[in-house]
Amino acid sequence: MEMGRVGRVRSAFSDLRSGDAALLFRALPESLRVDILLTLTPPIAADILEELPDDLAAALVMQISPESAAPIVQEMRTDEETDLLQDISADRAEQILQRVEERDASVARSLLAYHEDSAGGLMESDFIAFSEDMTASEAVQRLRQRADEYEEYPASYLYTVDKNGRLVGVLSLRALIMCQGETPIDSITTRDVVAAPAEMQGQELIKLFRRYHFMAIPVVDASERLIGVVTQDDALRFAEKDADEEMLRLTGIVGGDEFRDMKLRSRSWRRLSWLSINILLNVLAASVIAFYQETVRAVIALAVFLPIISDMSGCSGNQAVAVSIRELSLDRIAPRNFFWVFRKELAVGLINGLVLGLIVAVIAWLWKANVVLGLVVGAALWINTLVAVTIGGLTPLLLRRLRQDPAIASGPILTTLTDMCGFLVVLVLASHFVHLLH
């Protein structure tokens, strides 16, 4: 009875593609997941763990014993295995590694040394390389012998290495299939190959994929030895994760992903670390108003327009920030294009500031039947839109020049400066014309 049930669960999962099996698995109630995972054969359990979001996979593995985890972890693709071992506690990772085959464990330990967003961290260390002195038919023979294993390899590229394991070139399966058996593979190897050093950053790798459209890029260590392969699939996943994280950083969620099923303390803390800096900057900006409180008391309508000017300048500036971050990430601009960006934003600021200034001027004039009030708030919004779009456009360039992350710091810098400037312009103008504003 019990055996029949186990068999049915196993076959339900094994009939599915691993992506679908992971979806089914995630649809299970949380209380059942550990038991079901242990019911499955290690290869299928490994497929599911590979497809689950990293944080969920790590949480599951922490709930099962190292003895049960080891055979599953051993079946995982090396890059996924490394991600998982990095996401669980170091103690538990070590306990699991002590229980996998020595050869696999030492590979995993060496991969753990790379940063997860570097070529070394993204690569798979399973690949097929032939010695440069083989013939095409010897190579095909070897592929046939290792057919099962080879089916697991992600890309169709084969590599040629010298006797020290140094990368000689790339050998396409197409070239291999289309040449005569006695052809030395050396003669069909493409030597002009783009390889990534293990330390290369993920973003740089994406640029290589974007520029050359390779299906995979080989990764080499400091002695040019072939140590792994990054596939387009790895690049796609990194690019999506990177874009998502940039979006989150733009709104001040730092330290990587936030998912709502993470611990409350960590979610709260990540958001707060940025908010608490922001509130101090906000107080700094608003202190400008404190210096002019008598002007505000005399012209109380200003209390209505101050938040509008602050908010609208923030919006205009953030548009310019987003365009700059985008153009930086696509290499369409660089910090040296400072004055070009300045001129381009100045032109937009002049037009948009004029339009927004007119709208707010007409509203103020109609509301208080005071044309001077309209002119003061309209002119202030015009000037401040100009300031906001130029600061917004240029801040990401400056931060990039200073080797800081434009996505996380641009927003707070922008809003503090534009708020201060906006409040100052309104209040200086208003205090100058205060006798006309009653």
Q: Applying CB under 8 A, which part among 38-46, 84-92, 151-159, 429-437 lies near its own copies?
A: 151-159
Query: Smallest gap, in angstroms, from Cβ of residue 230 to its own copies?
Result: 12
Distance between terminal CA atoms of the chain? 88
User: In terms of CB distance, is 211 or 401 closer to its own copies?
Assistant: 211
3-state secondary structure of 134: coil
Residue 124 class from Cβ within 10 Å (0-12 exposed, 13-18 middle, 19+ buried)? buried
**Residues contacting 296, CB < 8 A, separation 6+:** 289, 302, 303, 306, 427
Answer yes or no whether residue 204 interacts with its own copies by CB under 8 A.
Answer: no
User: In terms of CB distance, is 3 or 27 closer to its own copies?
Assistant: 27
Q: Applying CB under 8 A, which part among 3-11, 85-93, 217-225, 303-311 lies near its own copies?
A: 303-311
Long-range contacts, 273-281 (Cβ 8 Å, 24+): 274/408, 274/412, 277/412, 278/252, 278/412, 278/415, 281/412, 281/415, 281/416
Find, among 157, 150, 172, 135, the residue nearest to 226 by Cα.
157
Answer yes or no whether residue 144 interacts with its own copies by CB under 8 A.
Answer: yes
Find, among 323, 320, 350, the residue nearest to 417 by Cα.
320
Find, among 218, 380, 388, 220, the residue nearest to 301 by Cα.
380
* Residue ranges in 31-60 that form contacts with its own copies under rule CB under 8 A: 51, 53
Query: Smallest gap, in angstroms, from Cβ of residue 308 to its own copies?
Result: 5
Answer yes or no whether residue 308 interacts with its own copies by CB under 8 A.
Answer: yes
Distance CA 423, CA 310 (A): 7
* Residue ranges in 234-293 that form contacts with its own copies under rule CB under 8 A: 235-237, 239-240, 243-244, 246-248, 250-253, 257-260, 264, 267-268, 271-272, 274-276, 278-280, 282-283, 285-287, 289-290, 293
Query: Smallest gap, in angstroms, from Cβ of residue 437 to its own copies?
Result: 14
User: In terms of CB distance, is 38 or 398 closer to its own copies?
Assistant: 398
Q: Contacts with its own copies: how many residues (CB under 8 A)?
A: 114
Find, among 67, 66, 5, 15, the residue nearest to 36 by Cα.
5
Which one among 327, 365, 379, 436 touches its own copies, defined by CB under 8 A? 327
Which one among 217, 341, 425, 426 touches its own copies, defined by CB under 8 A? 341
Find, among 351, 352, 338, 354, the residue nearest to 398 by Cα.
338
**Residues contacting 250, CB < 8 A, separation 6+:** 321, 322, 325, 407, 408, 410, 411
Which one among 11, 28, 35, 174 touches its own copies, defined by CB under 8 A? 174
Query: Smallest gap, in angstroms, from Cβ of residue 278 to its own copies?
Result: 6
* Residue ranges in 360-379 that form contacts with its own copies under rule CB under 8 A: 360, 363, 367
Answer yes or no whether residue 326 interacts with its own copies by CB under 8 A.
Answer: yes
Which one among 205, 219, 302, 409 touches its own copies, defined by CB under 8 A? 302
3-state secondary structure of 198: coil
Which one among 24, 134, 143, 379 touches its own copies, defined by CB under 8 A? 143
Distance CA 204, CA 22 (A): 30
Which one among 119, 185, 219, 325 touches its own copies, defined by CB under 8 A? 325
* Residue ranges in 399-428 that form contacts with its own copies under rule CB under 8 A: 415, 419, 423
User: Residue 37 in contact with residue 60, Cβ under 8 Å?
Assistant: yes
User: In terms of CB distance, is 70 or 421 closer to its own copies?
Assistant: 421
* Residue ranges in 5-24 that form contacts with its own copies under rule CB under 8 A: 17, 19-20, 22-23
Distance CA 241, CA 202 (A): 11
x/- mask, its own copies, residues 93-132, rule CB under 8 A, reads ----------------------------------------
For 217, the token pair is 């890029």
Distances (CA, A) of 257 to 53, 81, 204, 390: 11, 19, 21, 30
User: In terms of CB distance, is 93 or 185 closer to its own copies?
Assistant: 185
Which one among 135, 160, 352, 384 touches its own copies, defined by CB under 8 A? 352
Answer yes or no whether residue 334 interacts with its own copies by CB under 8 A.
Answer: no
User: Residue 306 in contact with residue 377, Cβ under 8 Å?
Assistant: no
User: Residue 169 in contact with residue 138, Cβ under 8 Å?
Assistant: no
Q: Applying CB under 8 A, which part among 3-11, 196-204, 338-346, 428-436 lies near its own copies?
A: 338-346
Answer yes or no whether residue 438 interacts with its own copies by CB under 8 A.
Answer: no
Range 192-206 burial, b when 16+ CB lie within 10 A, else e: ebebbebebebeebb
